[in-house]
Chains A and B, each alone.
Chain A
Amino acid sequence: DAGVIQSPRHEVTEMGQEVTLRCKPISGHDYLFWYRQTMMRGLELLIYFNNNVPIDDSGMPEDRFSAKMPNASFSTLKIQPSEPRDSAVYFCASSPRGARANYGYTFGSGTRLTVV
């Protein structure tokens, strides 16, 4: 298995532009998570899906953020319009049983977003 695949690896965009981050989870994993890592807040959960359905989006910072999972093999996190404070590393992770799996999640390599 290729693991959790995220694209792009790096994204530099101008303030006000729309940004779309992509994630392909491990096949057979029913849970998909989006996390954001910053120096100030560490790894914070933005949203997670179970069987393609959003379960908890309380971590999504503002209405500018939206996430979708149209099918079991693809998810997107969109920021529109982007702001400099959105600069962070965004991780996607998947799991067969959420946090109850003995090993927790499998993370992708992340997308480093820079908004200038």
Chain B
Amino acid sequence: DQQVKQNSPSLSVQEGRISILNCDYTNSMFDYFLWYKKYPAEGPTFLISISSIKDKNEDGRFTVFLNKSAKHLSLHIVPSQPGDSAVYFCAASVNSGYALNFGKGTSLLVTP
């Protein structure tokens, strides 16, 4: 069963606008969350992370928000750029574990 869910397979946004990618999780034991970005023919690369003790983490144009009560996190990209076009994976881990659970990914297309 999928413990990390990304319900939107794809998203299209105009350059300069905000991109919002969503992720839901079912396991209340998850305490660390990450976003990865993947270009075609490459492996996923780390983008940004957040611990469950925070509700927001920001890194340049990228901000991740965590709503623990709703078991929901989101990635905001502002402003969106064509180079941001990629597949974005949400991932989560449990404090006592060492493996990441990934969602299926959301394909973001930023159009000029």
Q: How many residues of A contact B (CB 8 A)?
A: 28
Q: Report yes or no: A43 in contact with B43, Cβ–Cβ below 8 A.
A: no
Smallest distance from the beta carbon of B112 to chain A beta carbons, Å?
28
Interface residues on B, range: 20 to 34
- B residues 2-56 in Cβ contact with A at 8 Å: 2, 32, 34, 36, 41-46, 49
Smallest distance from the beta carbon of A5 to chain B beta carbons, Å?
11
The answer to whether residues A99 and B44 also contact, given A42-B104, A45-B99, A104-B100 and a CB cut-off of 8 A, is no
Smallest distance from the beta carbon of B40 to chain A beta carbons, Å?
11
Instruction: Give bound CA distance, A31 to B98, whole Å.
Output: 9
The answer to whether residues A43 and B89 also contact, given A102-B49, A109-B41 and a CB cut-off of 8 A, is yes
**Among B32, B44, B98, B105, contact of A48 (Cβ-Cβ < 8 Å):** B98
Smallest distance from the beta carbon of B93 to chain A beta carbons, Å?
4
Instruction: Give bound CA distance, A35 to B103, whole Å.
Output: 13
Q: Report yes or no: A103 in contact with B46, Cβ–Cβ below 8 A.
A: yes
Q: Report yes or no: A43 in contact with B44, Cβ–Cβ below 8 A.
A: yes
Instruction: Give bound CA distance, A108 to B45, whole Å.
Output: 9
- B residues 71-103 in Cβ contact with A at 8 Å: 89, 91, 93, 97-103
Question: Residues of A at under 8 Å CB distance from B?
Answer: 4, 31, 33, 35, 41-45, 48, 50, 55-56, 91, 93, 97-100, 102-110
